[in-house]
Structure 1
């Protein structure tokens, strides 16, 4: 069927690539505006960098391997979480948070309300995804126009998902650029590259201390060129671990320089740094390693979101709005407001 211009002007069906906080926020708000939204997620479940890893050996627990906590500065973010995720799957994480000053002396981090998912960070995105059309285990390979000038998405298994007026891309910038190039949209990729900063890698180590690490703090940021962050994941609310799981994040520059390093050597180095700076005498019994190739933006500023009107392709993500968890919400929220202001949503005034 050939669509009329009026039908094409309004976004009635939209595909979202990625189901992290940005994708889920946009989906929730677009559905409320009368748009039929489908999310395509390459992983087994939603979450993006608000990810948690289940740890069944030696303890039946999990660890937050991406975002460690989030703060709320925008009241609209609080309202959104309360309305769409409820209040039972997230709460405040209190503890002793320390950092090493320029003189290498230890100082307490400034007081703040730090929030985490309960019983794991991914509980928030799972709650936000409830009732949405999220198709997991689907990796999108390219975007194509059909004979009606609608978007169809071809996945890596060869399946084609048809009939979308617009597409929202929420993967990290390098993956978004690859997808645009593979879709014959190199001009958008070139324009996109001008407006973004590079994402840095992050090695993450999960270290299990059966009898506890013996630390007198819950989180630590040392003056180290190797270790950027260490946190007692088991101290977060809702965790009922036997022993303690600690999450160690490598320094971004160090992680960038060692992306192809042997994981066992990475784990040894980060654990050594943690034990040194934290004055930890105990040795971990079990260690797990995860590598994030795209963890955080090198720069802390960005355009917020992008909308290519002629192609009807949008781009959103925390890396376009400062890199914080709340930035994912701000990016998606501002995108939906922009589309509403352009009059392309069914419920636009």
Structure 2
């Protein structure tokens, strides 16, 4: 799909909302088809679920921890537009705790991470797109056959033939509702309810707190995932940075709790699992409100032809990192099949 070239005289002006993997995939493919594309990103830089946070001496991946590849086009796309150095395999020992407490190995599968951090992937991809950062799209307004796009300060950002929204369901629904597109917004009522939060803590240890695995799923009500971030390729940390993800249920119950209280309780849960003796000497805590989608209808992407508005994201295609790529590919394939007049 991503090797297609533009063979139509019609150039569409397309706005993409969000510069995560889905948004950048869509932008790169549309640009390759000859269209004029602008990506609007509310943060300082691209990332989406491939998020990292600065810590002493480097960074820690507090969003998606790794990704796999089942679509044969995914890795070639990353190599072509991101470069071979922006990601690599994570050779860590992965384990999960069975209900009886014993540890078992993860199924064999190649798992990849960005190098030297997860955001390296989206930053590399963003070099192939026109990204307008620190700009939050707040409203769309119909202007003849085009869309006028405005930021949250009511500043006009331009006219576009089509709009692709790759923000999380709650933010996408808010944008559609603010634009008076309540029927479209209603399509997201169920997905919004299915997106789960996640508290994340990055903790630095001078000595390894757990010598048996680099990544693990634990049988603990507060914990979903624990990993030695320093074991990933390209990280050159002194000591070890470990990332702790709280379970969805625990995160939902404590979504409004103070960050220092969350960190203390999650570290105590980690100690209950590993029995580490040395308390970390540095901490970074992050509340990830739109961490993962669970269940529900997942059509791959959404396209509303009467409005020339589409939605893409991993939440529409299985929830995995690769799902963002799959979702964008499906949407662009549908747009590419449209008559030239649309």
TM-score bracket relative to the smaller structure: over 0.9
Query: Which residues in structure 2 correspond to 1:292-307 (within 5 Å)?
Result: 292-299=288-295, 302-307=298-303
The structure 1 residue matched to 2:194, chosen from 192, 198, 219, is 198
Deviation at 1:253, TM superposition (A): 1.2
Q: Which residue of 2 aligns with 1:43?
A: 43
Tell me the residue number matched to 2:14.
14
The alignment covers a number of residue pairs equal to 334
Gap runs ≥5 in structure 1: 1-8
The structure 1 segments of at least 4 consecutive aligned residues displaced by more than 3 Å after TM superposition are 194-197, 343-346
List aligned pairs for 1:212-231, cutoff 5 A.
Answer: 212-231=208-227
For 1:239, what is the secondary structure of its paired residue?
Answer: coil
Report if aligned partners of 1:145, 1:152 keep a CA contact under 8 Å in 2.
yes
Aligned to 2:273: 277
The CA deviation at 1:91 is 0.2
| 1:166 maps to which of 162, 165, 188 | 162
Query: Relative to 1, partners in 2 of residues 1:344 and 1:328: Cα closer, same or farther, differing over 3 Å?
Result: farther
Alignment of 1:78-227 (within 5 A): 78-146=75-143, 148-193=144-189, 198-227=194-223
Report the CA distance between 1:278 and its aligned residue. 2.1
Instruction: Report the alpha carbon displacement of residue 215 of structure 1 after superposing the two structures with TM.
Output: 2.7
User: In structure 2, how many angstroms separate the alpha carbons of the residues matched to 1:333 and 1:196?
Assistant: 23
The Cα of 1:212 is off from its aligned counterpart by 3.1
Alignment of 1:316-331 (within 5 A): 316-331=312-327
**Shift of the alpha carbon at 1:40?**
0.3
Give yes or no for contact 2:209–2:274 (8 Å, CA) kept in 1.
no
Compared CA separation, residues 149 and 341, structure 1 to 2 (3 A) = closer
Deviation, 1:102, is 2.6
Q: Which moved more, 1:63-72 or 1:254-263?
A: 254-263
Q: How far has the Cα of 1:213 moved from its partner?
A: 2.3
Q: Please give the per-residue CA displacement for 1:20-54, whole angstroms capped at 9, x wherever unaligned.
A: 00000000101001110000000000011101111
- Of stretches 221-230 and 337-346 in structure 1, the one that deviates more from structure 2 is 337-346
* Cα gap change, 1:301 to 1:72, in 2 (>3 Å): farther
Distance 1:196 1:291 in 2: 17
TM-score, normalising length: structure 2: 0.94
Q: RMSD in angstroms over aligned alpha carbons? A: 1.7
Q: Offset at 1:305?
A: 0.2
Asked if structure 2 preserves the Cα contact closer than 8 Å seen for 1:11 and 1:166, the reply is: no
2:33 equivalent in structure 1: 33
Matching residue within 261, 285, 301 for 2:257: 261
Structure 2: any 5+ residue segments left out of the alignment?
Answer: 1-8
CA contact 1:63–1:247 (8 Å) conserved in 2: yes
Q: Deviations over 1:266-322 (max 9, x none)?
A: 101111111111232221011111001111002175011000001110000001001
User: Secondary structure in 1 aligned to 2:187?
Assistant: helix
Query: Does the 8 Å contact 1:16/1:23 carry over to 2?
Result: yes
What's the offset of the Cα at 1:149?
2.9
Q: Distance in 2 between matches of 1:194 and 1:51?
A: 25
In 1: Cα distance, 2:13 partner to 2:188 partner: 24
